[in-house]
Amino acid sequence: MDYMATIRRGWEHTWNNKFLWALGFLAALGSGSTFTGSNNSFTSQDMAGMEQWMTPDRAAALTGGLIVFGCVASIVGIILWLVSLSARGGLIGAVAQMETGSDKPDFRSAFRMGWSKVWRLVGMTIVLYILPTILFIIVLVGFFGAIGGMAYFASGAEDPSAMAAGIGGMALIFVCLICLLMPIMMALSLIYPFAYRGIILRDMGIRESLRHGWTVLKENFGEIIILGLAFFLISLVVGFIVLAVLAPIGLIVGVPFLALMRTDATVLQGILVTLGLLVAMVVTALISAVFVAWQSSTFTVAYLQWTNKQVVIE
């Protein structure tokens, strides 16, 4: 494989068809990261005041509100996941159509391609990841449960050193289990994109797509790893570019933000902080959308080379 030509071909599709950026943005919604932080500290006086404020009625209202918020957040999360799956499928289908010359797609037709097979994509994702995910959760729960339980009993034991050795042994067992699960999860993550393309581009069922993904991975393992490493390096470069772009914005936002912490803060300072944050969010989302579209386009071009452009696109 000519890796540079493949990467360049993926970039040409991404740059010349801006609707792929919108699909890339939507595709990133289901796999994006949320960064939150907190720098709050609570004292005993705060807790005493909280006990007086938290009446049974307020506690019930707060609990109900949290339950409603959790339900709404879950529903919104599922909707965004379905949109993300459809957009990613649309990215794959659109690039395949352009690469094979079968059609000239647009945003609507591309998204429709992904949405028409979204339930198969959901089923494939669940079948592929459900068992190792459950095992991973069980191992983590067992790990922390064992440490917590043994630490609790160790506090009243006559020989804490023996209990500490037991805790260390249990922790080592669960760490080994986690180490065994990690390669399995990595292998599944390599099968996933090609099973995905089997559904979108070859109209396969769930089990057939998983077998197809494993076959493509097994027959082209070396080239897949090299292409993946290439995009890992590209992602580092993109990360530095993002930092370089956001650094001036951070300085512009930082000064008014510090000013807002004073009692004499002005409305203009608040507006500057808000605008700066919005610009930072827009820039980050745009770069992320383009990168996701580029990566997906490139792997679709490579997939077509590995499978001799055998596609069935409706």
pLDDT tens readout for residues 93-115: 999 999 888 778 899 999 999 99
Give the residue with greater pLDDT, 305 vs 32: 305
Is the per-residue pLDDT at 42 higher than 50?
no
Q: What is the mean pLDDT of residues 154-181?
A: 65
> DSSP state, 103?
-
Q: What is the mean pLDDT of residues 86-90?
A: 93
Instruction: Name the one residue in this structure whose structure tokens are 């609570």.
Output: 42
**Most confident region among 6-10, 60-64, 307-311 by mean pLDDT:** 6-10
Q: What is the mean pLDDT of residues 80-105?
A: 90
Is the per-residue pLDDT at 157 higher than 90?
no
Whether residue 39 lies inside any domain: the answer is no
Residues 295, 113: Cα–Cα separation, whole Å:
19
> DSSP state, 95?
H
Q: What is the mean pLDDT of residues 74-102?
A: 90
Mean model confidence pLDDT for the chain: 78
Whether residue 102 lies inside any domain: the answer is yes
Contact criterion met (CB below 8 Å) for 92 and 116: no
Whether residue 54 lies inside any domain: the answer is no
Is the per-residue pLDDT at 55 higher than 80?
no
Whether residue 149 lies inside any domain: the answer is yes
Is the per-residue pLDDT at 165 higher than 80?
no
C-alpha separations of 184 from 33, 121, 135, 282 in Å: 23, 20, 11, 36
Whether residue 129 lies inside any domain: the answer is yes
Q: What is the residue range of 296's domain? A: 12-29+64-306
For position 246, what pLDDT does the model report?
73
Whether residue 18 lies inside any domain: the answer is yes
Whether residue 290 lies inside any domain: the answer is yes
Is the per-residue pLDDT at 164 higher than 70?
no
pTM: 0.74
For position 44, what pLDDT does the model report?
43
- Sign of the torsion formed by the C-alpha atoms of 266, 271, 274 and 277: negative
Q: What is the mean pLDDT of residues 226-236?
A: 91
Whether residue 277 lies inside any domain: the answer is yes
Q: What is the mean pLDDT of residues 52-69?
A: 69
Q: Domain tally for the chain?
A: 1
For position 303, what pLDDT does the model report?
93
| Listed range (131-140, 254-263, 304-313) with the worst mean pLDDT | 254-263
| Listed range (34-38, 49-53, 161-165) with the worst mean pLDDT | 34-38
Burial 36-51 (b: 16+ CB within 10 A, else e): eeeeeeeeeeeeeeee
Is the per-residue pLDDT at 30 higher than 80?
no
> Residues of the chain with pLDDT > 70: what percent?
69
